[in-house]
Amino acid sequence: MSILQRISGPSDLKGLTAAELRELAQEIRDYLVTSVSKTGGHLGPNLGVVEISLAMHRVFDSPRDSFIFDTGHQSYVHKLLTGRKDFSNLRQKNGIAGYPQRSESEHDIVESSHASSSLSWADGIAKAYRITGQDDRYVVALIGDGALTGGMAWEALNNISDDNDRKLVIVVNDNGRSYAPTIGGFARNLNNIRTEQTYRKLYRLSKSFFYRFGLPGRMLWSAIRGAGKGIFGSVTPKSMFPNLDLKYIGPIDGHDLQQVEQALQQARKYAHPVIVHMITQKGKGYDPAVFNDADQFHAVGQINPETGESLEVSSSSWTSVYGDELVRIAQSNHRVVAITGAMLNPVGLGKFAETFPNRVFDVGIAEQHAVTSAAGMAFGGLHPVVSVYSTFMNRAFDQVLMDVALHKEGVTFVLDRAGVTGPDGASHHGVWDLAVFQVVPNIRIAAPRDAVRLRELLNEAIEVDDAPTMIRFGKGNVDQNFVAVKRMEDGLDVLRDAPAKDVLIVAVGAMAGVALQAAELLAAQGIGATVVDPRWVVPVAESVVQLAAQHRLVVTIEDGVRVGGIGTRIRQALRAAEVDTALNELGLPDEFLEHASRNEILERVGLTAQAIARDIVAQVLGAKVPYARQLTDESKTLEI
């Protein structure tokens, strides 16, 4: 039986010898590589925190002490040590989640997985423990150098440093990277600390040479001393946040378990807020990750565990279509610049950065700042394109509303991973953007149905210089192209024209395929369905209203929450135009959707062609809709 198999909870770690712990660390790494290479997941970050996670569980007493994992993508080792050892269905329906999840374990507290919030959680929990007299409980937050670039983390640090009377330990996992190397002055400061640590090691070594080897040793010692003074001078950092008056321990080699434990023991004794600075390597122990310059296997799909090679068939993704088109546009439009929040490659800006290195800005995990900075760039004469995952855009609602829209700045927002995304679960589905951002006055929102429309709409969006424009598309491979039978003057595409004007199906973006399939099923039942794609879903196209007036039922289908979605918006437009055609808005329910594949989720919520067609038939047959034509007897009995 392996040591890992014998660990069913943190208390099993306490009696292990140093050699057993080393063996356990290796077993954990082997297990992570073997299992994540089958399921996909966050491999690099977890390989980097094996020793830190072991030490946290040996020095502190979870769940009595509260562990907060910033973002939570690096909580796999913690899961393994707290009784969750079956990773065979990681991130799949009914399998364990890719982030901490309260329903899985009392050891998990924060499951939001949007970065940079851990210190605010820790601040709040520690305040609560003090005020409720639970003074013996520690709060331990593990946060990466990437997450530390987020504004929320700095706001929390400001508060934490102001209120010294609580047991709060901030463990900084400094691997120098977010996906790509972490950016900014803060990252440079960390780099200085790291370099200084190396210098100190060399300095100590050369000093021993000085005593042992006479003149050559003396020459080496003085050379290193001189170089150190030259590099660091008087600016050698004394702490990670020199002006915040926060106790600092480090830097510590985050892979030396003994050192890590000693540092945490010291922090524990201190019993006030303290930062423990660990230096680690993302992907530690797995060469394919360590030597992968792009992202050190931050997140992988299925891979060959021996070589790290991807086993997934690559075909054209929404992201790459967007990335290529933006480069093409920027070649002739010199005002176009691109902004990313620490996700250059995941949002498809890699090629743009290679082609126009001076026109791309990685602002760190700082979506709010990205948006307002873009407003400033637009004011200054540029056309910024801000590329963000749909779910992270939620962070910057106020900035889109007040800084961009109120000031009539021409900024284009490109929302990747919109709609149901699948394995990353509740926090990562991009299902709120349509409902949230359509309330912004003068915003224009586009949802391309395929690659051709994505290119087209991106070009149209970048032409708008006096208002925010937003384009949203999904995860993964782009669907086939759906050619329109005609385009209306206001830009709406008719994808299917039925002679009998029974149902008008308005498909939002990638739901076009499902809408067309549903229309086919309806046609087989003798029900005529027109399918349209407005392309720009906000504001509502005039032709949607006109077509609605010609049909007996309108059905809208969107890959976003139904509450306050595009369907609701169209309903309001119909009412304003006094069109009384019944409308059924289909979309996602008002709930947090757990991890499962996109198809499994769409099936569960009834967003498949069969379910939609069945629903329409039921409405028509149930006479909920005034129905003029007589349905054939055959169609009344047919099952879909």
Ligand X SMILES: Cc1ncc(C[n+]2csc(CCOP(=O)(O)OP(=O)(O)O)c2C)c(N)n1
Catalytic site positions = 282, 367, 395
Nearer Cβ to ligand X, position 281 or 608? 281
The closest of 474, 468, 469, 512 to 493, measured between CA atoms, is 512
Whether residue 260 contacts residue 249, with contact meaning beta carbons closer than 8 Å, is answered with: no
| 58 binds ligand X per the rule CB under 6 A | no
Q: Looking only at residues 283 through 322 of this chain, which bind ligand X when binding is defined by CB under 6 A? A: 298
* Binding segment (CB under 6 A) for ligand X, from list 67-75, 128-136, 512-520, 583-591: 67-75
Nearer Cβ to ligand X, position 144 or 228? 144
Nearer Cβ to ligand X, position 57 or 177? 177
| 475 binds ligand X per the rule CB under 6 A | no
CA angle 534, 507, 622 (to 5 degrees): 125
Residue 21: DSSP 8-state: H
| 41 binds ligand X per the rule CB under 6 A | no
* Binding segment (CB under 6 A) for ligand X, from list 16-24, 121-129, 143-151, 506-514: 143-151
| 282 binds ligand X per the rule CB under 6 A | yes
Q: Which residues of 106-128 are buried (b: 16+ CB within 10 A; e: fewer)?
A: ebbbbbebbbbbbbbbbbebbbe
Instruction: Please count the residues of this chain forming the interface with ligand X, following the rule CB under 6 A.
Output: 26
Residue 457, CA distances (Å) to 91, 450, 471 in order:
33, 11, 8
Whether residue 19 contacts residue 42, with contact meaning beta carbons closer than 8 Å, is answered with: no
| 178 binds ligand X per the rule CB under 6 A | yes
Instruction: Please state the closest distance from residue 247 (CB atom) to ligand X, in A.
Output: 22
Instruction: Please state the closest distance from residue 390 (CB atom) to ligand X, in A.
Output: 11
Q: What is d(CA 343, CA 359) in angstroms, rounded to the nearest whole number?
A: 15
| 78 binds ligand X per the rule CB under 6 A | no
Nearer Cβ to ligand X, position 282 or 472? 282
| 350 binds ligand X per the rule CB under 6 A | no
The DSSP result for 187-218, as a single string, is HHHHHHHHHHHHHHHHHHHHHHHHHHSHHHHH
| 99 binds ligand X per the rule CB under 6 A | no
* Binding segment (CB under 6 A) for ligand X, from list 78-86, 176-184, 417-425, 476-484: 176-184
Among 240, 279, 365, 414, binds ligand X (CB under 6 A): 365
| 190 binds ligand X per the rule CB under 6 A | no
| 144 binds ligand X per the rule CB under 6 A | yes
Nearer Cβ to ligand X, position 181 or 513? 181
Contact mark string toward ligand X, 226..265, x via CB under 6 A: ----------------------------------------
Return phi, psi of residue 105, to 5°: -165, 145
Nearer Cβ to ligand X, position 116 or 584? 116
The H or E element that residue 339 is part of is strand 336-340
Among 84, 107, 177, 453, binds ligand X (CB under 6 A): 177
The structure tokens listed for 187 are 């990252």
Q: What is d(CA 59, CA 41) in angstroms, rounded to the nearest whole number?
A: 28
Whether residue 109 contacts residue 121, with contact meaning beta carbons closer than 8 Å, is answered with: yes
Residue 105, CA distances (Å) to 90, 100, 102, 499, 637 in order:
15, 8, 6, 57, 49
| 474 binds ligand X per the rule CB under 6 A | no
The closest of 47, 91, 46 to 596, measured between CA atoms, is 91
Instruction: Please state the closest distance from residue 113 (CB atom) to ligand X, in A.
Output: 6
Nearer Cβ to ligand X, position 179 or 221? 179
Residues 6+ apart with CB under 8 A from 242: none
Q: What is d(CA 564, CA 261) in angstroms, rounded to the nearest whole number?
A: 50
Helix, strand, coil proportions of the chain in percent (round to 5)?
Answer: 45, 15, 40
Residue 561 CA, distance from chain mean position: 18
* Binding segment (CB under 6 A) for ligand X, from list 109-117, 209-217, 462-470, 540-548: 109-117
Nearer Cβ to ligand X, position 140 or 609? 140
Contact mark string toward ligand X, 388..417, x via CB under 6 A: ----x--x----------------------
Tokens 């005609």, residue located:
486
Contact mark string toward ligand X, 324..343, x via CB under 6 A: -----------------xxx
> CA dihedral in degrees (529, 530, 533, 536; nearest 10)?
-120
| 421 binds ligand X per the rule CB under 6 A | no
Nearer Cβ to ligand X, position 28 or 531? 28
Q: How many angstroms separate the first and last alpha carbons of the chain?
A: 53
- Interface with ligand X (CB under 6 A): 45, 48, 71, 73-74, 113-115, 144-147, 173, 175, 177-179, 282, 298, 341-343, 365, 367, 392, 395
